[in-house]
Structure 1
Amino acid sequence: MAEQAPAQPSPGPGAQFAPRMQVLAQYVRDLSFENVLVQKGAGQAEIQPDVQVAVSLDARKRSVENQYDVLLKFKIANKNKVSGDMLFLLELEYGGTFLIEGVPEDQMHPFLLIECPRMLFPFVRRIISDVTRDGGFPPLNVDNVDFLSLYRQELARRAQTAQPH
């Protein structure tokens, strides 16, 4: 006689479902690479790169139920420490469309700006590495971004600007 698996209890009213996230699309929304070093015809003078990375995030609800667009914006300026001259400027806007279910409304904002960017970041890192290499520079491998810390900093900044002086 074959054994049957015990029946799974159905969730009762008010039961929480596990969050479900699916990446529906990923895309480069905007990409710019300005190779200032080549444009200026700079020679092989002493170069000590100084890379500055700025990251910003944006998320919007789509008209389709449970779908959201998340956009990561990276601005990377590489200057020569010796002369202060710009070597290159890279700007990348990389987006993803997500289907998200089972996340309570009060947790959706942090979910969109922490978990979704974590999913997209490896692709952003590869694009930045490829573009800088193709631009004639050593491939730039951007350090991991702590999206939780970035989110907390933005909340603190907003709270500070909201306070009357």
Structure 2
Amino acid sequence: MADESPAENTAAQTAPQIQMRVLGQFIRDMSFENVMAQKGVSGDVQPEIAVQVNLDAKKRPTEHQYEVAVKLNLTSKAKGMEDVLFLCELDYCGLFHIEGVAEDQLHPFLMIECPRMLFPFLRRIVSDITRDGGFPPVNLDNIDFVALYRNELMRRQAETEKTEA
């Protein structure tokens, strides 16, 4: 059994506790366009689905409250063809109360942890929309929000280096 030194014990007690509450969730904007039905195309087709994800976060006027938006664009094309089957756009937002996160860690927290909390609800909406639109339900794979965040940081750094050169 290891004993903690008094300094370690005090540090553990004074470390701020992270508090995060989801205050609300809502669809800001949603569009589903069944291009295949509009063109009168019928028959069996094998869909290929491309998914684009964009994230946004902003401070709300109330202290410790933030709005985080996950914007999804899905484009389904017939495999081996350029024919679009459907387009789906979804802007899904969550309102969060967050306390105890260090200022330098707030941006990654908002762009990684908050979207991770929203994702199961977003996945369900996409599944229902595509099914109700006449297609097999699209069950989105998990999104690696850490990788998305890192890729965006690297893209911004490369853009900054390019403009400075």
Q: Which amino acid aligns with 2:139?
A: N
SS in 2 for 1:28: strand
Q: Which amino acid aligns with 1:135?
A: G
Choose the corresponding residue for 2:60, options 49, 59, 62: 62
Task: Summarize deviations over 1:9-64 as a string: whole Å, max 9, x none.
Answer: xx78x9221211000010000000000000000021x5121100000000000010
Q: 1:120 and 1:43 mapped to 2: Cα distance? A: 35
Q: 1:31 and 1:157 mapped to 2: Cα distance? A: 28
SS in 2 for 1:137: coil
Instruction: Name the TM-score, length of structure 2 as normaliser.
Output: 0.90
Give ranges in structure 1 of 5+ residues lacking alignment: 1-10
- 2:48 is the alignment partner of 1:50: yes
Q: How does 1:93-112 map to 2 (within 5 A)?
A: 93-112=91-110
Higher helix share: 2
The equivalent residue for 2:87 is 89
**Matched pairs, number:** 153
SS in 2 for 1:22: strand
Instruction: Name the TM-score, length of structure 1 as normaliser.
Output: 0.90
CA RMSD between the two structures: 1.4
Q: 2:79 and 2:129 mapped to 1: Cα distance? A: 22
Give ranges in structure 2 of 5+ residues lacking alignment: 1-9
The equivalent residue for 1:7 is none
